[in-house]
Amino acid sequence: MVPFLAMEWPFQWLAFFLGNWAFLEILEYLGSFSVLIAVIFYFSESGDRIKQKHYQAWQVINTAQGKGGSGGRLEALEELNADKVPLIGVDVSRAFLMGVRLPHARLRRSDFSAADLRGSNFEAADFADSRLVSANFRGSTLRDASFQDAQLDDADFCDADLSGVDLSQASLARADLRRTDLKGIHWQDIETLKGANIFGVKNPPQGFVAWALRKGAVQIESDAEWAARSH
């Protein structure tokens, strides 16, 4: 132990000397100041990082335009919508977007033709003037969405929730509306329902079913029978 005890005394003096050295105190303050500067720069550049994130999301969507599959578009769309970025004019035709969540999305003049959107959430979304021909919305939530002037020919809404949707001037020729919830829909100005299947619709507004049948809609449960009737 003697060597260690001999070393103790000079180390005590060294510690005392350094503890009273103002330079070390300045270094400590500078360390704290550098952390503060780093935090300030992080938040000041946050806007640029968000812009870069949005640019990359749009790049994913545009690169896969017109192709089948997802290609990362589902996540990109959800990310942009979560940041309240308008999706006006987006083209995701033929895309596989099953289960996508885009509530309150601004989708005017978009193209979802032949897209697979089963089990999705488009509550209160704006699809005005959009092309949705042959889109598959089976089992989806579309409460309070707007389809004003939208092309919905051959679209599949079987078992979907369409309560409160606005269908003013929408084209629904041959659309599958079987067992859809139609509570409170805006239907008086629908452009066409010729060949649309309204079998088993739930909560239809008063007068809707009779009006739809006069406009050429049908009530057929079987897929085969409906297909045969269509041809």
With cut-offs at 50, 70 and 90, classify the pLDDT of residue 99.
very high
pLDDT in tens, 133-159: 999 999 999 999 999 999 999 999 999
Give yes or no for residue 224 having a pLDDT over 70. Answer: yes
What burial letters (b/e) apply to 41-69, b meaning 16+ CB within 10 Å? eeeeeeeeeeeeeeeebeebbeebeeeee
pLDDT higher at 188 or 71: 188
What is the rounded distance in angstroms from the CA atom of residue 213 to the CA atom of residue 211? 5
What per-residue confidence (pLDDT) applies to 25? 57
With cut-offs at 50, 70 and 90, classify the pLDDT of residue 185.
very high
Q: Which domains does the chain have, with CATH numbers?
A: 68-230 (2.160.20.80)
DSSP 191: S
What per-residue confidence (pLDDT) applies to 55? 86
With cut-offs at 50, 70 and 90, classify the pLDDT of residue 54.
confident
What per-residue confidence (pLDDT) applies to 13? 53
| C-beta of residue 197 within 8 angstroms of C-beta of residue 221 | no
Q: Report how far Cα 208 is from the mean position of its chain's Cα atoms.
A: 31
Give yes or no for residue 209 having a pLDDT over 60. Answer: yes
Average pLDDT, the chain: 85
With cut-offs at 50, 70 and 90, classify the pLDDT of residue 42.
very low
Angle at 182 between CA 177 and CA 187, to 5 degrees: 90
What is the rounded distance in angstroms from the CA atom of residue 87 to the CA atom of residue 110? 8
- Give the predicted TM-score (pTM) of the model: 0.77
What is the rounded distance in angstroms from the CA atom of residue 149 to the CA atom of residue 157? 17
State the average pLDDT over residues 76-101: 94
Give yes or no for residue 223 having a pLDDT over 80. Answer: yes
